Structure 1
C-alpha cells in the first residue's frame, strides 16, 4: 500500500461545513448529513468516512438522552446546532451533532471509509490499524465503520477530547464532497427499548450503502410501506 503523506503542498485542505448547516430540524439534518464526509486529523493524516446512516432524536420523545433532562454530561444536546455530543455506548465512543432546538440531535450511526486526494491510502491504513477485529486482524474495509462505535474507533474519536466542543476545522470537520445520495431509506431506529417511542421512523440510510450500515433495512422480510419508506 502506497504511503501518501498529507501536506498543503501535495493535497488540498478540506473545507468544513459551517455551524449554521447544523441549525435545522433533526430529521432534516439527519437526511442532509447522508453523503457528507467526517474528517479527523491525526498527525499528518486526515482519517475520513462518508456518512451512510443517521438517527434523529428530539427532546420531547422518550428515545432521546435529552428526554431524561439536562445534566452537565448531556449539556451539548441543549447547545446551539453544531455542537458535538459524545457518549459511551457498549464500551465504545459514539458521535452525535446537536440540531436546531434544545435537546435535539443526530446520531452518526455508521459510515463508509472514504479515500480521496485529502485522505489517501495511508489514512485508510491507519483506520484499519485503529479498528481491528476481535482476533486482532484487519476488518474488511466495508465493515470498518459499520456501527456507531466502530466508526469512532476507526476515526480515533474519543469522548474526552470532543464532547461538548464545536468543530475545529484544523482537526475535526464535516465536508460536503457532493453529490447527495440518489435515494434515502427511512425506517425505525435501532436499540430503542420498548415503550420509549421505538416505533418512530427517525433512522435514515443512504440506499446505495444499505448493506454496509448497522442493520440493512432492505434485508429479507422487510416490507416497503410498513417497515421502511423510500424517499
Structure 2
C-alpha cells in the first residue's frame, strides 16, 4: 500500500451519486459505500478521500442515536435516504448519511486520502493543514482520515454547515470512481457502551486498508468467525 491512493487522470467534473443510492438498507449501504470517494470543495480545491470504514445503525437497536427518539437535532435520521446527519463526538465533527427507513443511517468511520487530477497535491496539502497532530505537525497521510472526527477535520466538514442538508453536488458529493474493495471485513462497531447492542456486527472495513482504519479488525488476537467475518 502506498501513502496515497491515486487514480488515472481525468478532465471530467465530479458526478455525485444520486439520492436513490442512499435509500437502501443500512448494512447494504454501509458495504456499498466502501471504495466510494467523498469530495468537498473548499474555495478552488476539491478535498477528497476514499471511504474505507463504515458503521450501520438502525432505529430499533440501542446503539443508534435514533433509538433515543426524534428531536429537531436528530431529524435528518428520520428523513429519507441521502440526507446528511452530523453531530459532535469527542470534540469533533462526525459525518453520517441517512439510509432507507426512519432512523436508519450509516456513519462514515474513516477514509484514506484520494489524489487525482481533480484533487491534486494542493488539495492534499490543504487537508494536511486542516488536520495537524497534537503538536501541530503534519500527520502521516495514511492516518490523516483514520477516524470519524479526523476525516471531517481533514475535509473541512462542519456540523453547522451540513447537518440535515442534502448533498450539493457543486460543493459536497460522494462519487463512484474508486476501485471496489476485493474483500470486506464485517465486525462489531466501536465505542458502543455495554448493554447497547455492542455485539452487533454492523461495522464494515475495506480489507486492503485495514491498517489505516480507526481500529484494525485484523490485529493480533482477533479470530475469523468469532471476532470478524471476511466477505467477498
TM-score normalized by structure 1? Answer: 0.95
Q: By how many angstroms is 1:13 displaced?
A: 1.1
SS of 2:160's equivalent in the other structure is: helix
Q: Does 1:209 align with 2:205?
A: no
- Which contiguous aligned blocks of 4+ residues in structure 1 show a shift greater than 4 angstroms? none
State the alpha-carbon separation in 2 of the partners of residues 146 and 199 from structure 1: 23
Q: Does 1:28 align with 2:28?
A: yes
SS of 1:29's equivalent in the other structure is: helix
Whether the 8 Å contact between 1:40 and 1:47 is mirrored in structure 2 is yes
Q: Tell me which residue corresponds to 2:3.
A: none
Q: Deviation string for 1:40-63 (max 9, x for gaps)?
A: 000000000000000000000000
State the alpha-carbon separation in 2 of the partners of residues 90 and 179 from structure 1: 32
Q: By how many angstroms is 1:117 displaced?
A: 1.1
Closer, same or farther: CA 178–112 of 1 in aligned 2, 3 Å: closer
TM-score normalized by structure 2? Answer: 0.95
SS of 2:186's equivalent in the other structure is: strand
Q: Does 1:191 align with 2:208?
A: no
Q: Tell me which residue corresponds to 1:82.
A: 82
Q: Deviation string for 1:91-128 (max 9, x for gaps)?
A: 00000000000000000000000001110000000000
Q: Does 1:46 align with 2:40?
A: no
Whether the 8 Å contact between 2:29 and 2:106 is mirrored in structure 1 is yes
The alignment yields a C-alpha RMSD, in angstroms, of: 0.8
State the alpha-carbon separation in 2 of the partners of residues 12 and 94 from structure 1: 29
Q: Tell me which residue corresponds to 1:97.
A: 97
After superposition, residues 45-64 of structure 1 pair within 5 angstroms as 45-64=45-64
Aligned length: 222
Q: By how many angstroms is 1:74 displaced?
A: 0.1
After superposition, residues 1-231 of structure 1 pair within 5 angstroms as 11-231=11-231
Q: By how many angstroms is 1:213 displaced?
A: 0.1
SS of 1:132's equivalent in the other structure is: coil
Q: By how many angstroms is 1:179 displaced?
A: 2.8
Where structure 1 has 5 or more consecutive residues not aligned to the other structure, the ranges are 1-9
SS of 2:115's equivalent in the other structure is: coil
SS of 1:114's equivalent in the other structure is: strand
Q: By how many angstroms is 1:185 displaced?
A: 0.1
Whether the 8 Å contact between 1:12 and 1:117 is mirrored in structure 2 is no
